[in-house]
């Protein structure tokens, strides 16, 4: 090969060959599972737990020899809490990285953006971070809900509040996919129960200051304040309500209060806040005790329900792969549609749209700096403290 | 009573805005530097304050003078390193400073992510309120608002009553005229930037007492500062202070009656209106 052009072309081919080569397949090649996660951005606190749950599940599976005799490998990208970025990254995972399987991202908003892509490429995908039911009834046939519906968030609160004599409600909602669904569901529930909605508003992040909203809430004198939130606005609203000197009989926020960081951010203001969870330490679900111990050993912190849903997503996917003895997406999809899987957070089962019919949400409350499970009665760790003290 | 509550809340909110804006007003006014990294200095200081107070249980107000001085020092290092050399490019210097500070913003935000992580943080300090004449006042917001306004007032007094301050004002009004009066304009640019970064850092310490803050908050704070300067008038320190207070009050009222989104969009609506009506407010003196 004397020609410099031929030598250059040969060198070019050698350098670029790996780019065009298919990922290694075969009995020894790892099964690569792709996902994005919000390592940065407003969703990072909650998303961080989800990915740790997934990492723990991968570790646990690999200790047992993996799936189909092959080790598992997680390929992750940071979607920066941005739907557009997540769509680009899932495209990359599927078309460039050629992953074998995918798991959904954190949050309904990002999942909603990614779902049509999943549909297009026909990947049977468990969605651990997407509580919004709309995703699954919009013709996205390849997405399977891996968590309880956002319509259930805090749905146990208003009937209980009514039993305590509460008659008025204020509902606040962050303008994101899941929280708007939760916001509308709580408004409808209040009206069905005959409770008066005295104030309602939505807002977007970043919200520089919640003072005006908190003053409007105070001015309306609701007995119950429900915030359909993520972590940053849960902190902001809690502080702002206190700054206005207002403590409703019941203060509830959906996402945020169960995170350890929330307690550090708001201090004693968190005491008495009600929230929701789809998993708890004392659930009598298979492998729950081992999950808690292994999570603490691996990450040196307590898990939360986002970690449990991340872990459960891999449990379900693993069950499907093992049962079908295959990575074929059609076979996996069919199996997921017609089978149930016991997970940490309850029973995975879906209807024909892929919407969960098995997972549920329950209430928790921060009491003296510790989060206590309040419902269901047979698992409750403490009684609901009323009223919210505000300090 | 409601009107008074809205006024008090708005004034205190505006007090936190005053320092955010005046620190950038100083930099933009004297140097003509469009400092797109302004918000990242605020955020770095806020995140440091949250970390420091969580680690040591110290009062954030003890951190304030330290952060201000460190910010001054950082500004004093960065200005000659990154910005002073752009001056020799004449008219292109403003555009070049835009690009340099754009890059600096990315570097500082990434540094904040690496050091402090991406979580939103806040400081549970002075978590109590008091009531005066039926108006509820948050102690944290009161301290933050008054401290911010006080520092901005000190800046204004310093600019108008001290030889150094008068030299800074002279350099901002006319570099040529200042040189002819024997003022070292290069040194004034250094002082302005260092002081601006120091005061922005102080603003970060105060802001984290009242709102959750994360590395990604930087850009929205930079935009807020530019909006207030545009409303108040570039180089007009009294005007910017008034604009900050009025914006705080306007946001308080609009947020109460129309919700969070209307409150968020208000600064930009006002900016569009003012720029369309009075674009000369955003011109520096030649």
Report yes or no: A311 and A297 within 8 Å, Cβ to Cβ: no
pLDDT score for B280: 62
CA distance A31 to A4: 41
- Concatenating the DSSP letter of every residue in A41-97 gives STTHHHHHHHHHHHHHHHHHHHHTT-BTTB-EEEEEEE-TT-HHHHHHHHHIIIIIS
Nearest CA in chain A to B221: A208
Confidence of residue A5 (pLDDT cuts 50, 70, 90): low
Q: Is A381 in CB contact (< 8 Å) with chain B?
A: no
Q: pLDDT at position A336, please? A: 97
User: How many CA within 13 A on the CB side of residue B165?
Assistant: 12
Q: Do B263 and A243 touch (CB under 8 A)?
A: no
Which stretch of A310-319, A336-345, B25-34 has the lowest confidence by average pLDDT? B25-34
Whether B121 has its CB under 8 Å from any CB of chain A: the answer is: yes
* Structure-block tokens of residue A183: 């916001």
DSSP type of residue A353: T
Q: What is the mean pLDDT of residues A226-242?
A: 92
**Homologous superfamily, domain A31-148+284-348:** Response regulator (3.40.50.2300)
**pLDDT value for A172:** 96
- Indicate whether B169 pLDDT > 90: no
Query: How large is the C-alpha radius of gyration of chain B?
Result: 19
Query: Does the pLDDT of residue A20 top 80, yes or no?
Result: no
Give me the residue label for tokens 């306004």. Answer: B149
Contact B120 A232 (CB under 8 A): yes
Residue A76 bridge partners (DSSP)? A35
User: Has residue A96 got a pLDDT over 90?
Assistant: yes
Chain B CA closest to residue A78: B118
CB contact under 8 A, A215 and B261: no
Asked if B223 reaches chain A (Cβ–Cβ under 8 Å), the answer is no
Distances (CA, A) of B223 to A106, B51, B251: 29, 25, 15
Confidence check: pLDDT of B91 > 80: no
Backbone φ and ψ of B183, nearest 5°:
-85, 135
What integer pLDDT is reported at residue B90 of this predicted model? Answer: 76
B247, pLDDT greater than 90: yes
Q: Choose among A123, A145, A347, A205: nearest CA to B213.
A: A205
- Report yes or no: B8 and B135 within 8 Å, Cβ to Cβ: yes
- Does residue B65 belong to the interface with chain A, where contact is any CB pair within 8 Å? no
Backbone conformation region of residue B157, classed left if phi is above 0, alpha if psi is from -120 to 50, else beta: alpha
Domain residue spans in chain B? 2-126+134-282
Average pLDDT, chain B: 87
- In sequence order, what are the residues at sequence separation of 6 or more whose Cβ sits closer than 8 angstroms to the Cβ of residue A39? A47, A48, A78, A80, B118
Both tokens of residue B202? 């102080």
Q: Where are the beta strands (DSSP E) in chain B?
A: 129-132, 135-138
Kindly tell me if the per-residue pLDDT of A17 is higher than 80. no
Q: Which residues is A276 bridged to in the sheet?
A: A363
Q: Collapsing DSSP states into helix, strand and coil, what is residue A218?
A: helix
Q: What is the mean pLDDT of residues B58-71?
A: 91
Chain B interface includes A78 (CB < 8 A): no
Mean pLDDT of A281-308: 95
Of B128, B224, B255, the CB nearest to A212: B255
* Exposed / middle / buried, residue A95 (Cβ in 10 Å: 0-12, 13-18, 19+): exposed
Bridge-based pairing of strands A31-37 and A101-102 is: parallel
Q: What are the residues whose beta carbons fall under 8 Å from the beta carbon of A146, sequence distance 6 or more? A: A104, A126, A127, A128, A129, A130, A309, A312, A313, A316, A348, A356, A359
Residue A391: which pLDDT band, with cuts at 50, 70 and 90? Answer: low
Q: Which residue has the higher pLDDT, B282 or A212?
A: A212
Q: What is the pLDDT of residues A237-266, one digit of tens each?
A: 999 999 899 999 999 999 999 888 888 888
Residues 136-155 of B with CB under 8 A from A: 136, 138, 140-141
Interface of B with A in 257-276 (CB under 8 A): 257, 259-261, 263-264
Amino acid B159: pLDDT? 87
pLDDT at A22: 45
Distance from CA of A259 to the nearest CA of B (A): 11
Which stretch of DSSP H or E encloses residue A112?
helix A108-121
The pLDDT-based confidence of A44 (bands split at 50, 70, 90) is confident
Least Cα separation, residue B122 to chain A (angstroms): 5
Q: Do A264 and B54 touch (CB under 8 A)?
A: yes
pLDDT band at B279 (very low <50, low <70, confident <90, very high): low
Pairing of β A72-78 and β A143-145 = unpaired
Residue with tokens 């295959």: A326
CA separation for the pair B35, B82 (Å, rounded): 12
Instruction: Classify domain A152-277+362-373 by CATH architecture.
Output: 3-Layer(aba) Sandwich (3.40)
A310 touches B: beta carbon within 8 Å: no
Segment holding A121, helix H or strand E: helix A108-121
Look at residue A67 and tell me whether its pLDDT is greater than 80: yes
Degrees, nearest 5: CA angle A228-A237-B132:
145
Which CATH class, in words, describes the domain spanning B2-126+134-282? mainly alpha
**Chain A environment of B145 (Cβ under 8 Å):** none
Task: Indicate the domain borders of chain A.
Answer: 31-148+284-348, 152-277+362-373
Sequence-separated (6 or more) residues with CB below 8 Å from residue A332: A124, A317, A320, A321, A324, A326
Residue B148 burial class via C-beta count within 10 angstroms: exposed 0-12, middle 13-18, buried 19 and up: buried
CB–CB contact B216 A40 (8 Å): yes
A207/B127 Cβ within 8 A: no
* Structure confidence at residue A14 as a pLDDT band (50, 70, 90): low
Read off the pLDDT band of B285 (50, 70, 90): very low
Nearest to A45 among B54, B119, B131 (CB): B119
């Amino acid at each position: 090969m004397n020609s410099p052009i031929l030598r250059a072309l040969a060198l070019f081919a050698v350098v670029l060959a790996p780019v065009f080569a298919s990922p290694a397949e075969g009995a020894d090649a790892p099964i690569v599972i792709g996902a994005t996660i919000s390592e940065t951005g407003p969703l990072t606190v909650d998303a961080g737990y989800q990915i740790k749950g997934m990492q723990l599940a991968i570790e646990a599976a690999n200790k047992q020899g993996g799936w189909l005799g092959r080790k598992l490998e997680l390929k992750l990208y940071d979607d920066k809490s941005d739907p557009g970025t997540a769509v680009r990254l899932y495209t990359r995972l599927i078309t460039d990285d050629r992953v074998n399987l995918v798991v959904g991202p954190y949050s309904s908003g990002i999942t909603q953006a990614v779902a049509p892509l999943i549909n297009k490429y026909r990947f049977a995908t468990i969605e651990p971070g997407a509580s919004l039911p709309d995703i699954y009834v919009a013709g996205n046939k390849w997405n399977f809900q891996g968590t309880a519906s956002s319509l259930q968030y805090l749905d146990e609160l208003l009937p209980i509040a009514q039993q305590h004599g509460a008659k008025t409600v204020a509902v606040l909602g962050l303008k994101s996919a899941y929280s708007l669904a939760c916001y509308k569901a709580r408004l409808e529930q209040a009206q069905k129960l005959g409770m008066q909605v005295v104030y309602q508003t939505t807002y977007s992040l970043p919200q520089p200051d919640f003072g005006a909203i908190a003053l409007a809430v105070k001015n309306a004198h609701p007995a119950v304040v429900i915030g359909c939130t993520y972590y940053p606005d849960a902190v902001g609203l809690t502080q702002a309500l206190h700054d206005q000197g207002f403590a409703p009989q019941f203060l509830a926020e959906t996402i945020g209060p169960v995170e350890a960081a929330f307690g550090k951010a708001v201090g004693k203001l968190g005491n008495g806040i009600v929230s929701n969870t789809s998993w708890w330490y004392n659930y009598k679900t298979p492998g729950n005790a081992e999950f808690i111990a292994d999570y603490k050993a691996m990450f040196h912190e307590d898990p939360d329900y986002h970690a449990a849903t991340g872990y459960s997503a891999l449990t379900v996917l693993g069950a499907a792969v093992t049962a079908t003895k295959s990575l074929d997406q059609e076979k996996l999809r069919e199996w997921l549609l017609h089978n149930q899987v016991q997970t940490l957070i309850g029973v995975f089962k879906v209807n024909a749209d892929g919407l969960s019919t098995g997972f549920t949400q329950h209430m928790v409350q921060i009491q003296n700096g510790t989060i206590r499970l309040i419902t269901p009665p047979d698992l409750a760790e403490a009684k609901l403290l009323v009223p919210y003290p505000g300090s | 009573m409601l009107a008074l509550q809205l006024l008090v809340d708005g004034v205190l909110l505006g007090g936190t805005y005053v320092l955010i804006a005046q620190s950038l007003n100083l930099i933009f006014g004297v140097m003509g530097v469009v400092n797109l990294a302004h918000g990242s200095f605020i955020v770095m200081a806020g995140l440091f304050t949250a970390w420091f107070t969580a680690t040591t249980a110290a009062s954030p107000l003890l951190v304030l003078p330290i952060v201000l001085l460190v910010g001054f020092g950082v500004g004093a290092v960065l200005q000659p390193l990154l910005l002073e050399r752009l001056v020799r490019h004449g008219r292109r210097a403003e555009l070049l400073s835009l690009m340099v500070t754009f890059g600096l913003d990315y570097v500082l935000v990434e540094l904040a992510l690496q050091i402090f992580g991406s979580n939103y943080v806040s400081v549970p300090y002075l978590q109590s309120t008091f009531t005066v004449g039926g108006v509820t006042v948050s102690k944290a917001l009161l301290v933050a608002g008054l401290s911010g306004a006080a520092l901005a007032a000190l800046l204004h007094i310093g600019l108008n009553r001290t030889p150094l301050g008068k030299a800074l004002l002279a350099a901002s009004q006319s570099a040529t005229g200042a040189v002819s009066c024997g003022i070292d304009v290069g040194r004034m640019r250094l002082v302005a930037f260092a002081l601006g970064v120091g005061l922005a850092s102080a603003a970060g310490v105060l802001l984290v007492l009242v709102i959750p803050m994360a590395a990604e908050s930087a850009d929205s704070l930079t935009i807020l500062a530019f909006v207030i300067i545009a409303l108040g008038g570039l180089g007009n320190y009294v005007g910017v202070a008034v604009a900050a207070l009025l914006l705080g009050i306007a946001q308080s009222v609009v947020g109460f009656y129309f919700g969070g989104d209307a409150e968020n969009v208000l600064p930009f609506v006002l900016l569009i209106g003012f720029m369309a009506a009075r674009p000369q407010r955003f011109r520096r003196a030649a």
